[in-house]
Amino acid sequence: MLKEFKEFILRGNVIDLAVGVIIGAAFGDVVKSLVDDIIMPPIGLLVKGVNFKDLKLIIGGETSNPVTFNYGNFLQNALTFLITAAAVFLMVKFVNMLYKKKEEKALAEPSNEEILLTQIRDLLKERK
């Protein structure tokens, strides 16, 4: 069982996945900082200094256990999600564009097999 576990851990896909998760978490922190520290303050200025995280609706304030709807925090998290999704979309689009160019280049250049078959065809034509 230990041998199988070692093979599983050392398999390339698991390591790639771990790297992706770690980089994804760091990327999430960067995007969160972008939204919290760069994008939201100017928006807060436009709406007269309102901090979105402070926007909330309190229901049952007279009772000992009021219900709080933190819709401002939700708006900020939704914006963070949209920016993260857009960044991932653009990154995937860029990578797909690179692969497409690589494929087009591969299709444009004849393979070694095609070159050899062309040479054989030409030699057969010369013999006739």
What DSSP string runs through 32-92?
HHIIIIIIHHHHHHHTTS--GGG--EEE-TTSSS-EEE-HHHHHHHHHHHHHHHHHHHHHH
- Condensed to tens digits (0 to 9), the pLDDT of residues 48-107 reads 877 778 888 888 767 678 888 889 889 888 888 888 788 888 888 988 898 887 777 767
CA 38 centroid distance within chain: 20
pTM over 0.85: no
Q: Please say whether the structural domain 2-127 has been given the CATH code 3.40.1390.10.
A: no
- Condensed to tens digits (0 to 9), the pLDDT of residues 91-117 reads 889 888 988 877 777 677 778 888 899
* Angle 15-18-22 from CA coordinates, rounded to 5°: 140
**In a 10 Å sphere around its CB, with 0-12 CB exposed, 13-18 middle and 19+ buried, how is residue 34 labelled?**
middle
Q: Which of 30-34, 42-46, 107-111 has the lowest mean pLDDT?
A: 107-111
* Angle 33-38-41 from CA coordinates, rounded to 5°: 115
pLDDT of residue 15: 76
With cut-offs at 50, 70 and 90, classify the pLDDT of residue 121: very high
pLDDT of residue 60: 79
Give the SS3 label for residue 94.
helix
